[in-house]
Chain A
Amino acid sequence: MLDLRKGIAALALSVAVLAGPAAMAQGTLRIGMTAADIPLTTGQPDQGGEGLRFIGYTVYDALINWDLTQGDGPSGLVPGLATAWEADEADRTRWTFTLREGVTFHDGSPFNAENVVWNLDKLLDESAEQYDPRQSAQGKSRIPAIASYRAVDDLTVEIITHEPDATLPYQLAWVMMSSKANWEALGKDWEQVAAKPSGTGPWMMESFVPRERAELVPFADYWDETRIPKLDRLVLIPLPESNARSAALMSGQVDWIEAPAPDTIPAMQGNGFAITQNALPHNWTWHLSRVEGSPWNDIRVRKAANLAIDREAMGALLGGLMIPAKGFVPPESQWFGEPDFDVTYDLEAAQALMTEAGFGPDNRLKVKALISPSGSGQMLPLPMNEYIQQSLAQAWIDVEFMVVEWNQMINLWRAGAADPSVEGSQSINFTYFIQDPFTGFIRHLDCDLMAPNGTNWGHYCDEDMQGLFEEIKTTFDPAEQDAVLRRTHEKFVDDALFLMVTHDVAPRAMSPKVQGFVQPQNWYLNFSSITMAE
C-alpha cells in the first residue's frame, strides 16, 4: 500500500494547478471527512472529536464554547449560550449560569433555561420522555460532576455538583443544546430529529443522506454576528479511505480533506494544495502499568525509556507531521510549566539509568506492550511502535507486542493493567485527548478511577498527585487553576509517568480556493470565517 501511495504521489505531480485565487465568492466548501458516516445529528454527536468538529460545533452550541478564532496559542473557554457562570463562594457545589438573551433555535423557538434542563435530562435522566440512550452514551460520561440542576428563571440555571469541582465549565463544553420544540414538532422521535435537527449553532443542516453527505447552510440569525458563516454551503462527505480522500481532493471533487496520507503530501504541496497543521491537544503515549511487579514502577526505567527515543528522527517517518513530545502536553500548552526532567534523546544517560536499575546488555529488561494496528487518533501505530521497539532495544529494553484490533484494545484499556485479559502487558499505546483538565490529566491517574471503575489503566495512585487533582477541582479562579495544572504537569514529566513520544498536528489538505481558514490549537474548528476564491 505504501508503494501505491508513492505511485499516487508521483503521478499526482503532473496534476495541473488552477490559476491562483482571484476574487472571493461565497461559494460551497466540500469536506472529505475520515468518518465512515455522518456523525449523529440529533445534538450530542458520535464519531468522537470529528463528530463534534463537523456536526457538534457547527449545528449546535454548548453553554460554554471553545475559542476557535485564533491559532497562535492554546484555545480557552469562552461564553457560549451562557454569558456568565460562577460557583457560590459559600457553597462551591452550587453553580449559577446566566443564559444569553434573544437566542433562537433554527426552528425559531427561543432558547431558555427550560431548554437547558430538558437537554440535561436528555442525557442524564433515564425516566425522562426525551432521554436518548444514543446521545446519553456520548454525553453522560463527559459531565460526571453534575448531581442536579434546575431552572431558576427563564435565563438562569442552577447546577449542583457532587463535590466542589472547578472543571465543570470544561465538562459543559461537551454538551450540545438541541431544540425541545423541534423534538416535539417531530413527534418526539429522535429518528425524525436526526433528519431535521435544530440547534442554535451558526450552521443549519439542510439535507442529510446517511453515509453519503450532509449539507449545511448559514443560520442568518446566529447570535454571534462575527461568526455568521460567509459561505453559501458546507458539504460534509464521509471518505474513510485515505487514498480515496486524496484522489477526491486532487480531482476537484472536494475542497478539503482531513488527515491526508503522509506520502501524498509532497505531491499535494507541489501542486498548490495547502497543508495546514498546528499543535493539537492530543498526545501519543505509552500508558505504563503501575501494578505490583511492573518494571515501570522504577522511575529510573521510566526515565531511561523516555531518553532512549530519538523523536526528531521519528518525525521523518511521519513526514514531519508531529511535534516531538517534551511532556504529556505540547510545549506550547498553557499547562506545560517548567519540569526539571528534560524529555530528550540521550542514549548514554538512558543506559546509565538502566545500569543503575540493574540492567545491561547481558541482563535485558523484557516488557510487553498492547498496541493496535489502527484506530482513532492512533496516527501510524505499527511503524511508530516498531520504531520505539528498536529505540528501547538500544537501552536494553526488549519489547514484545500484543497486537489487538482497536475496539478490542479499547475494551482492554477499560479493563485495566491488572485484568487477566491484558495477558500481563505492562504498557498500552493509547492516544489521549488533552484539551481539558479532567480528560487530559485527572482521569488517567486518579486513585478513585482505577480501571475497571474508571480509566486509570495503570492503577497509579499517589498521595501528592491526588492532592494536586483535589486542588484543580477546588481552584475556581481560571488563572490560579492554570497554575495548579502547570504544577500537575510538571509532576507528570518529572516522575516520567508515561512514555511520552509525540503530539499530533492535525494535518489537513485543502484547495488553494479555500481562504480565511484559521486552525486553532483545538480539536474543533470555526468554519464561519472561510470563503471560497473563484
Chain B
Amino acid sequence: MDKNQYLDMFIDESKEHLQAMNDNLLKLENDPQNVAIVNEIFRSAHTLKGMAATMGYEDLASLTHIMENVLDGIRNHKISVTSEILDVVFESVDDLEAMVLSIASGGDGKRNVTKVVTMLEKIEKGEQLKGNPISDEVAATVEVVKSSSGTTEIYDDFEVTVLTQAQEQGFHAFQVTISLREDCILKAARVFMVFEVLEQIGEVIKSTPTVDSLEEENFDSDFTVTLITKVSNDEVRNRILKVSEVDNVQVASFDTEAYKTNLSLTTVEEVTIEETEVSEVTEAVQTKSDEKSNPSGNKTIRVNIERLDILMNLFEELVIDRGRLEQIARDLKSSELTETVEHMSRISGDLQSIILNMRMVPVDQVFNRFPRMVRGLAKDLKKKVNLEIVGAETELDRTVIDEIGDPLVHLLRNSIDHGIETPEKRLSNGKPEEGSITLKAYHSGNHVFIEVSDNGAGINREKVLKKAIASGVVSTENSKNLTDKQVYELLFASGLSTADQITDVSGRGVGLDVVKSKIESLGGNVTVDSVLGEGTTFSIQLPLTLSIISVMLVEVQSEKYAIPLSSIIETAIVKNEDILAAHNQKVIDFRGSVVPLINLTDFFEVPKTREEDVYHSIVIVRKGAKMAGLVVDSFIGQQEIVLKSLGNYLTNVFAISGATILGDGQVALIVDCNALIK
C-alpha cells in the first residue's frame, strides 16, 4: 500500500479524533457517571488505533490499545472515574498527540511512553481501586456474560415458565448466540436488525446482555438471546446471517427440564406482556440507531486551501470578463445582451459570496484546544479556573484562523498565570474559590472581536508604571499624565516584556509585545482594560479575512495605487500656499499638528504625465501615533480588493505590500504605509 497517499488524511483524522478525545475527557471529568461519553472516547480511540495499525504506526496503535483497555474498564464499571485516572488518560492522549505530530512532521511516530503505559496498566488491573465492592460485583456479572456465549444461561422462574408453556404448545426454544464482526461500526443498529429478524420468526424471551446494554453498545462483539419459535434451528441461523456484519451464529436447543421446578402460574397474557416489552425495547434500539446516523447527515468534504485559492483566481478572471461584457452590452445597447449580462452579474455575485464563505471556518477550530490547555495549566499552578467559551461558531477566514492561535495561547496563559489568584487568596478577598476566564468571539461589522477576560486581580497601575519607568519606557514626568488605558498599553511595549521580573511586580507583560505585533501583522489590534481587584479584559479586533481588504484607490500621474483604509485617517485637498517647508521637508498643518508630506510621484519615481496643479490631493495615513500625508493626483474611491502577493521573485519591494487586480484586469500595487513612515 502506498501510505503516503493517505498520510495527510490520516494525520487530519487523527488530530480530529484526539481533539474529540480531549473534549470528551473534559466532559467526562464533569460527569463521571456518563457511559455515553466513555463510549464516545472509546470509539475515537478505537478508530485511531485502527488507522494507526493500518498505516503501520505500531507504537501509536499499541498505546491506543492500552488506553482502550482502561476505557473499556470504565464503561464496564470495572474502573470508576477519578481525577487521577483522567490525568493518566490525558497524559496518554498528550503522548498520542506528540506521536501524530511527529508523524506529521515526517517522523516515524516513535516515542518513549513506558511511564504512561505502566500507569495505564496499573489502572487496568485495578490496583488503585482495590476493595471497591461495586466494581467487583459488576466484574462478576461480566464474567457470567462471558461464559454465557456457550449454552448455559440463567433464567428466572417467570422466564422458565414461559419457555415451558411455549414448548408445550409446540414451539422450539433456542439459545442463539450472535457474534458481530470485530470491525462492526454501528453495533446497536446491527442488534436492532437481528432483533427485527427474530421478531419475524418468533419471540425473544431473554437477551444477555440486557437489551439496554445492547442498545448502548455495552458488549464486546457477541450476545445471546433466548428465542421461542416454530421455525427450525437452521432457518434461524440462516436468517440472522443475512444481516450484514454478523460474523457467526450459534443456535442451541434449550432444555427446559433442567429449569422446571415448582411453577404453575403460566398464562398467555403474561407472554403478551413480555412481547410488548420486547417490542418497546426494539423501538428504543431503533431510536438509538437513528441518533447514530444523524452526524453523517451533516456531510462535509475536505478541500485543500490551495484549490480554493485557484477557484478564487479563476473566479476573479470571470469577474473581470463580466466587467468587459457589461461594457460591451452598454455600448451595443442590445436589450437581450444587457439582460443576459445582468443575469450573469447576479449569479456571479452569489457565486462570489459562496466562494468567500467556503474559506470561512468556525473559530472553534482554534478554541477547542483551550479547555484542555487551561485545565493543565491551572493544575500546574495549583489554581482553580473555569473556562467559558462563547461564540465558538463565529466564522473567520482560514488564513486568520491559522494565525490567531498563538496570540490567544499567550493571553490565556497570562490570565491564568497572573490574572487569576490562588484559591486561598481569592477566598480571603471574598471571591469564589474558582476563578473564571471567558473566551468570547463575535462579529461586528467587517471585523471579528475576540475577548479574553478574567475575574482575577486586575492590573496594578502603580506597579506597571514603576516598572515602565525603571526600564526606561516612559519618563517620570510623562508617567503622571497617563490615563489608566495608556498605562495598560505600556504592557505591550517591547522593553517591558523581555524582563522576567515584571511577572513578580505587575503580574503582566510577558511577551505581550509579541501578541501585539502578531495581531497587527494580521491587520487587527489589541486593547486591554482592567479594574484592579476585579479582573482584566484583553480585546482583539481582527479583519474577517486577510485576502480581502478595503482600500482607497488613488491615481499618481497615470498609475493607480491602493492605500489600505486601515492606515488612512482622512483625505484632504490643500492649496499650494497651505504647504509649508520645514528644513527641506514639506509639511502641512493638520488640525493643529505638523504632518510631513510624501509626494508619491517623486517617491515612486512615476513618469510625469500631468501638469502641476495648485490644489493637491492628500491622503493622511498613520503608523501608531505618527502621521504622514501622501500627495497623490486624484482619488478614485473606496473599494474592496483581493490581496495578492507579488510572488517569490519580487520579495521585499520597498513600500509595496502587495498587489491587486482591478476590474479592468490591470494590476494595482498596494502602498505599505508602515514602511513610508519612519
**A and B assemble together:** no
